[in-house]
Amino acid sequence: MTVEQWYGTIKTGLTKKLTENKEALPAGFNQQRFILNCITVIQDMMKDDKKKAQLEKINPETIPVCLAKAAYLGLDFFNGECYAIPYGGNLSFQTDYKGEIKLCKRYSKNKIKDIFAKVVRQGDFFMEEVDGGKQNVQYRPKPFSNEQMIGAFAIVVFEDGSMMYDTMSSEDIENVRNTYSKAKDSQAWKSSTGEMYKKTVLRRLCKLIDLDFDNIEQQKAYEDGGDVVFNQQSLPGATTGQALLPENDKPVDAFAAIKAQKQAEPVIDGMILEEA
């Protein structure tokens, strides 16, 4: 099979896959642009000798199955919202941290005001506490620090004022990586460790968020996109709380208030503090 035939097999297979499952595609999906972006990403991967050797061992007819999962979720490989990772003789679909954020905001039943994850490094100030039944999180990172990562946390604030958060130590994350990861030695873990730390704790938090996908193909693609699979019934450390409400009972935009103050203060009643 020539190089042109190889690319042609992928393009034809992807077109067929998307056409067969067009009802699973999100509204406004641009099939032509998506296919073009996928081929461009594959071409870039072929420029890397290691990835090229791995791709050549994969049956090109199976590659569209991986690529189509991004289409169902409305994610773009070209924009770095997800990745196609050659590993163990297969091409695996994996969402990126940015993709996780996008999906949570799009499919959460409880509308999200903000959601993010942060890495905690040696020397950063991080504290979580429960005071009088109210949960507080305080985080003040050391500016421009490149110290050792000691953990990560993720927070979601909903428009109704409620919030949830989850924390994981570096030991917890590394244990998950070594025990449950689909590709613990992949390039993502080696070269983008911080992003994988954030994605791991965010993915665990997402198990507590009620996501309502439009169809079963999206649900399956989302589950396949995780580097690890968390059991929703066993989530040690995951916590929920209520964000501060003013007298009119409307949710406070905690992030806007904090940016306006431009100073480090303790988080109150579930508000989140992040000092740049």
In sequence order, the 6+-apart residues with CB closer than 8 A to the CB of 168 are: 151, 152, 153, 176, 197, 200, 201, 204, 237
Check whether residue 81 and residue 111 sit in a common domain.
no
Calculate mean pLDDT across residues 48-58: 90
Q: What is the DSSP secondary structure assignment for residue 155, as one 8-state letter?
A: E
Check whether residue 246 and residue 137 sit in a common domain.
yes
> Which residue from 91, 87, 51, 49 is spatially nearest to 68, judged by alpha carbons?
91
Check whether residue 191 and residue 171 sit in a common domain.
yes
Q: Is the pLDDT of residue 162 over 60?
A: yes
One-letter amino acid for residue 6 of the chain:
W
Check whether residue 234 and residue 256 sit in a common domain.
yes
Check whether residue 142 and residue 173 sit in a common domain.
yes
The total number of structural domains that make up the chain = 2
Check whether residue 103 and residue 230 sit in a common domain.
yes
Q: Is the pLDDT of residue 101 over 80?
A: yes
The structure's pTM equals: 0.75
* Residue 56 in tokens: 């050549």
Q: What is the pLDDT of residues 205-228, one digit of tens each?
A: 998 999 999 999 999 999 999 877
- Cβ-contact 181, 227 below 8 angstroms: yes
Report yes or no on 57 lying in a domain. Answer: yes
Check whether residue 66 and residue 165 sit in a common domain.
no
Q: What is the pLDDT of residues 106-123, one digit of tens each?
A: 999 999 999 999 999 999
> Which residue from 232, 203, 235, 27 is spatially nearest to 103, judged by alpha carbons?
203
pLDDT given for residue 19 in this prediction: 96
Say what percent of the chain tops pLDDT 70. 83
Q: Is the pLDDT of residue 90 over 90?
A: no
Check whether residue 172 and residue 139 sit in a common domain.
yes
Q: Is the pLDDT of residue 238 over 90?
A: no
> What's the whole-number average pLDDT of the chain?
83
Report yes or no on 78 lying in a domain. Answer: yes
List the domain range (segments joined by +) for residue 129.
98-211+224-261
Q: Is the pLDDT of residue 262 over 50?
A: no
Report yes or no on 267 lying in a domain. Answer: no
Q: Is the pLDDT of residue 258 over 50?
A: no
pLDDT given for residue 71 in this prediction: 98
Q: Is the pLDDT of residue 133 over 90?
A: no
pLDDT given for residue 181 in this prediction: 82
Check whether residue 239 and residue 122 sit in a common domain.
yes
Of 22-36, 53-67, 259-273, minimum mean pLDDT range = 259-273
With bands split at pLDDT 50, 70 and 90, how would you rate the model's confidence at 229?
low
> Which residue from 65, 48, 61 is spatially nearest to 7, judged by alpha carbons?
61
